[in-house]
C-alpha cells in the first residue's frame, strides 16, 4: 500500500510533560488505521498534529506528501476531520450545515448524495439541537467528507452512543472506506478497533507500545486463549500458578478465569481430572483485543 500518512518521531509536550513522545507510524492508502489507548495516552494530540491543528515540538509528519504545519490550507483539501468534541449552532438545520461546509471548498462533494449515503435525507430540515447522538455523528462524518478528502480522521467517534447507534456508525465507517477514503480512527473502545481496523497502534503514556493487525496483537499477547470455569471444590493456587504458559489468573465470585495458550488449557483439564474436580460452566475462548491491550501495556481501557 502507498503511504498517505507518515509520522516519524513525533513529539509534543505541555508544561514540560511529554504528551507524545517519539511516535512513528505510516498509514497505507485505503486502510482503516486505528490509534487505541486509554484516556490521556496522547491519541488526540497525535491526530491534531496530523490534522495541522497543533504544531509538533519535534519529528516529521507528511499527509499526502504535505507538511500539516506549513501546508495547512493544502492539507485541508486532502484531509477531513471529525473532532473529539464537535458542536454546531442548535438552530442550524442539517441542510444548512451541509450547504455551509460545502461552501468552504472549491470542489465539494454533492451534499445531497452525501446525505443520502449517510442516511440524512429524511432529516435535512431538522435542527441540529433536535438530533440524536447517532444522527449528529452521521452529520459530522458527512461534514468531514464534504471536501472530497483522501483521508478522514474520526476521533472518539462513538463515545456516548448507545450500542445500536454505535454499531450503525461502524457500518458507516466501513462504507466510507469502501468508497476509497483512508480512515484514521481514534478510539478507546477495544471492540470498535477489533471490528473496524486493518492495523492498530497501541499508545500508552505518549508512546507506541505495539503496532500490528488486531489478530496480530492478540497473538503477540501472552494470553491468546482464555479458559473460565467454576470448580466444584477449591483449587490450590500453587497448582494454578504452575500451569504452563499461564499469563494471568483471576478469581471472582468463585469463578476462575485463566489466560494462556492451548497448552494451558490442556494442563487445566488434566489438573481437574487428577483432582476429580468438576468444572461448571466451562468456557474456552480466544482472547480479545481488550485482553491483548491489558497484557501488552499494563494499562486499563
Sign of the CA dihedral with 87 first, then 51, 149, and 155 last: negative
Q: What are the pLDDT tens digits along the chain (301 aa)?
A: 699 999 999 999 999 899 999 999 999 999 999 999 888 889 999 999 999 999 999 999 999 999 999 999 999 999 999 877 778 999 999 999 999 999 999 889 999 999 998 889 999 999 999 999 889 988 998 999 999 999 999 988 887 778 888 888 898 889 889 989 999 999 888 889 989 999 999 998 999 999 999 888 877 765 668 899 999 999 999 999 999 988 889 999 999 999 888 899 999 999 999 999 999 999 998 777 777 777 676 554 4
C-alpha cell at 241: 500458578
CATH architecture for residues 219-297: 2-Layer Sandwich (3.30)
> DSSP assignment, residue 243?
S
Sequential DSSP letters for 35-68: EE--TTSSHHHHHHHHHTSS--SEEEEEETTB-T
Going by their DSSP bridges, the two strands 255-260 and 248-252 should be labelled as: antiparallel
**3-class secondary-structure state, position 242:** coil
**Which fold is adopted by the domain 3-212?**
Rossmann fold (3.40.50)
The backbone region for 223, taken as left when phi is positive above 0, alpha when psi lies in -120 to 50, beta otherwise, is beta
pLDDT of residue 223: 60
Residues of the chain with CATH 3.40.50.300: 3-212
279, 293 in Cβ contact below 8 A? Answer: no
181, 109 in Cβ contact below 8 A? Answer: no
**3-class secondary-structure state, position 14:** strand
DSSP H helical ranges for 118-198: 133-145, 163-178, 190-196
pLDDT of residue 297: 66
pLDDT of residue 222: 58
C-alpha cell at 5: 500518512
pLDDT of residue 298: 57
pLDDT of residue 89: 94
CA end-to-end span of the chain: 30
The burial class, CB within 10 Å (0-12 / 13-18 / 19+), for 97 is buried
pTM: 0.78
pLDDT of residue 149: 94
75, 52 in Cβ contact below 8 A? Answer: yes
C-alpha cell at 78: 486532502
Amino acid at each position: 500500500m502507498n503511504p498517505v500518512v507518515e509520522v516519524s518521531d513525533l513529539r509534543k509536550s505541555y508544561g514540560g510533560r511529554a504528551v507524545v513522545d517519539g511516535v512513528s507510524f505510516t498509514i497505507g492508502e485505503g486502510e482503516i488505521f486505528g490509534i487505541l489507548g486509554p484516556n490521556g495516552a496522547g491519541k488526540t494530540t497525535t491526530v491534531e498534529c496530523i490534522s495541522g491543528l497543533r504544531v509538533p515540538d519535534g519529528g516529521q509528519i507528511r499527509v499526502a506528501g504535505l507538511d500539516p504545519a506549513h501546508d495547512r490550507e493544502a492539507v485541508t483539501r486532502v484531509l477531513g476531520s471529525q473532532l473529539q468534541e464537535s458542536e454546531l449552532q442548535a438552530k442550524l438545520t442539517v441542510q444548512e450545515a451541509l450547504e455551509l461546509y460545502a461552501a468552504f471548498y472549491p470542489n465539494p462533494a454533492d451534499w445531497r448524495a452525501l446525505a443520502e449515503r449517510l442516511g440524512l435525507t429524511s432529516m435535512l430540515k431538522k435542527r441540529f439541537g433536535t438530533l440524536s447522538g447517532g444522527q449528529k455523528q452521521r452529520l459530522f462524518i458527512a461534514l468531514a467528507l464534504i471536501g472530497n478528502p483522501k483521508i478522514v480522521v474520526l476521533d472518539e467517534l462513538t463515545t456516548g452512543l448507545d450500542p445500536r447507534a454505535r454499531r450503525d456508525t461502524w457500518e458507516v465507517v466501513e462504507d466510507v472506506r469502501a468508497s476509497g477514503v483512508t480512515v484514521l480512527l481514534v478510539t478507546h473502545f477495544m471492540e470498535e478497533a477489533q471490528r473496524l481496523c486493518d492495523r492498530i497502534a497501541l499508545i500508552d503514556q505518549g508512546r507506541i507500545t505495539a503496532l500490528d493487525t488486531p489478530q496480530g496483537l492478540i497473538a503477540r499477547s501472552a494470553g491468546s486463549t482464555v479458559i473460565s470455569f467454576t470448580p466444584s471444590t477449591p483449587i490450590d493456587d500453587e497448582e494454578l500458578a504452575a500451569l504452563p504458559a499461564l499469563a494471568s489468573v483471576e478469581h471472582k465470585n468463585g469463578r476462575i478465569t485463566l489466560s494462556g495458550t492451548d497448552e494451558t488449557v490442556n494442563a487445566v483439564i488434566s489438573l481437574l481430572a487428577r483432582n476429580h474436580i468438576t468444572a461448571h460452566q466451562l468456557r474456552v475462548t480466544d482472547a480479545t483485543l481488550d485482553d491483548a491491550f491489558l497484557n501488552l501495556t499494563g494499562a486499563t481501557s
